Amino acid sequence: MTRQELIAQIKKKKSFLTVGLDTDIKKIPQHLLTFDDPVFEFNKQIIDATKDLCVSYKINTAFYECRGLAGWQSLVKTANYLPKDIFSIADAKRGDIGNTSAMYADAFFSQADSGMSFDSVTVAPYMGKDSVSPFLKFQNKWVILLALTSNEGAKDFQFLKNEESLLFESVLQKSQEWASNEQMMYVVGATRGDAFLQIRKHAPNHFLLVPGVGAQGGSLGDVCQYGITKDCGLLVNSSRAIIYASSGEDFAQAARAEAQKVQQQMAKELEKIGF
Ligand SMILES: O=C(O)c1cc(=O)[nH]c(=O)n1[C@@H]1O[C@H](COP(=O)(O)O)[C@@H](O)[C@H]1O
């Protein structure tokens, strides 16, 4: 998907919500366990109930990989069930030496090889340019590079200072030599609202994938106050708060109600920038 197509979706749906399909077989409603593939059935119903309210789905591959072959099958089926006009994210946090990264890129981008073709994949920047470049060889596919993450451990490395900048600032600066804002986004956690001011100094026009609202307590208001751009420039993810809104048979309607609350707040923020 191109940047323009993504922006058009945001305008049309008045939403910049990413629904996170962090689907844990131990947490899904009991009545689904009689299905052949309970995780896929859960995802299918969540997607059907929320697809008009969000512009993106993020599949965190850990929740699938941990189940071995069965999990990988749920992952492939879910990836292929996602509506084509919705931006899809394989949240796999990959990155390795060049020839290995090329294999990871095929795994998530090459339908002919792996049976899946996501629009984007999350990548760790630690191994540098040659670990990221293989993902950038695919047209209209995106790298979402970890910049400033939402977790407590982000402080361990991401705020370390070199001569003139913090490590996450160096990630933002250096990686812009590798790709434009038509192919690169950054992960910035919602739990550090005011850090968006600093992020926007270095990446004024890039889209940011923002996890951490909902279950982790980040504020959508703060994220928008400091992070929104004239093109919106934000994809805000919520996983557990939406998909586990109810553990009963009404789980999909409850997920829809939660997604709608967030979407309505987003519509107000988008109005401020004339969308
Ligand atoms: O890359 C991510 O998506 C990510 C980065 C980050 O800094 N923090 C973070 O929570 N995430 C992911 O975003 C999702 C957040 O889920 P909830 O806290 O349930 O909304 C999970 O899939 C996390 O793995």
Domain CATH number, residue 98: 3.20.20.70
Question: Total domain count for the chain?
Answer: 1
Give Cβ neighbours of residue 93 (< 8 Å, ≥ 6 apart).
122, 123, 124, 146
DSSP H or E stretch at residue 77:
helix 68-81
Q: For ligand 1, say whether the CB of 18 is within 6 Å of any of its atoms.
A: no
Residue 118 Cα distances to 65, 112, 150, 230, angstroms: 16, 12, 23, 26
Q: For ligand 1, is residue 269 a contact (CB within 6 Å)?
A: no
For residue 23, the enclosing domain spans: 3-272
Tokens describing residue 221: 């208001």
Query: Could you tell me which residues come within 8 angstroms of residue 74 by beta carbon, excluding any fewer than 6 positions away?
Result: 23, 37, 39, 40, 43, 64, 67
Please give the model's pTM, rounded to 2 decimal places. Answer: 0.98
Residue 83 contacts residue 93 (beta carbons within 8 Å): no
Instruction: Per-residue pLDDT tens, the chain, 275 aa: give them.
Output: 999 999 999 999 999 999 999 999 999 999 999 999 999 999 999 999 999 999 999 999 999 999 999 999 999 999 999 999 999 999 999 999 999 999 999 999 999 999 999 999 999 999 999 999 999 999 999 999 999 999 999 999 999 998 889 999 999 999 999 999 999 999 999 998 889 999 999 999 999 999 999 999 999 999 999 999 999 999 999 999 999 999 999 999 999 999 999 999 999 999 999 99
Catalytic-residue membership of 13: no
Which residue's CA is the closest to the ligand 1 atom numbered 13? 211
Do residues 233 and 205 lie in contact, with contact meaning Cβ atoms separated by under 8 Å? yes
Scan for tokens 């899809």, then name that residue.
88
Could you tell me which of 23, 26, 65, 63 has the C-alpha nearest to residue 45?
A: 23
| Predicted local confidence at residue 232, as pLDDT | 98
Cα of 145 vs centre of ligand 1, distance in Å, is 13
ipTM over 0.95: yes
Which residue's CA lies nearest to atom 2 of ligand 1?
A: 211
Residues 197, 239 contacting (CB under 8 angstroms): no
Asked whether 29 lines ligand 1 (CB < 6 A), one says no
The two structure tokens encoding residue 212: 């951490």
β-bridge mates for residue 209, sequence order? 187, 235
150 contacts 211 by C-beta, under 8 angstroms: yes
List the catalytic residue out of 11, 77, 93, 261: 93
Look at the block and give the residue holding tokens 């512009």.
Answer: 55
What pLDDT, on a 0 to 100 scale, did the predictor assign at position 188? 98
Bridge partner residues of 59 (DSSP):
90
What is the predicted pLDDT for the residue at 140?
95
> From residue 189, how far is each of 4, 78, 113, 144, 177 by CA, in Å?
24, 25, 32, 13, 23
| Amino acid in position 154 | A
Assigned token pair, 123 = 């990548």
Residues near 270 by Cβ (< 8 Å), separated by ≥ 6? 10, 11, 14, 15, 16, 232
